[in-house]
Amino acid sequence: MFAALRFRAPARARLHALRELYRRFFGENTPDARGRRLLADWLSPAQRAQFEQHRYFDVIGCDTGKRYRIHYGTAANVHEIDDAGMATMGWCFVPTGFLVPGDVMLAQKIALETDEKSALALANRFPPATHSEHFYRRPF
């Protein structure tokens, strides 16, 4: 009986290790996780730190020099901000197709930094909501 228990412990440990490996691989290999990793690779160190702390990052428009804050999400997540960091206008523009938030945010970042006027010409404007900061602070 003691010999049987002695062999069960290593088998249990191997099974636990395999489950953990499977969970980590597939947990880190979901479309959402891959999208967040790709986004992080394209962010500057300051933008990455801002995103990790607040779930948003700021970009500077290439044509006007205005600051935009891109919040975690897929629609109505871009706000033009003033020097005090307050939202003055909301912009909704997204790439075609069903994409995860990280991919949408990367497309928005690239659009504003390389062709701001064209991106905003296609965008829908909306007044910034006072509760939006609370809305976007949900965990991943």
Q: Is 139 exposed, middle or buried (0-12, 13-18, 19+ CB in 10 A)?
A: exposed
Percent of the chain with pLDDT over 90: 69
Cβ-based neighbour number of residue 24 at 10 Å: 10
DSSP one-letter code for 96: S
pLDDT at 137 over 70: no
pLDDT for 56-95, tens place per residue? 999 999 999 999 999 999 999 999 999 999 999 999 999 9
Task: Estimate to the nearest angstrom the gap between the alpha carbon of 128 and the chain centroid.
Answer: 20
* Contact by Cβ (8 Å): 112, 81: no
What stretches of the chain show up as alpha helix (H) in DSSP? 2-27, 31-42, 45-54, 101-122, 132-135
Tell me how far apart the alpha carbons of residues 72 and 57 are, in angstroms, rounded to a whole number: 9
**Which sequence spans correspond to the domains of the chain?**
31-135
pLDDT at 97 over 60: yes
What b/e string do you get for 86-110 counting C-beta neighbours within 10 Å, with b at 16 or more?
ebebbbebbeeeebbbbbbbbbbbe
pLDDT for 17-37, tens place per residue? 777 766 666 667 889 999 999
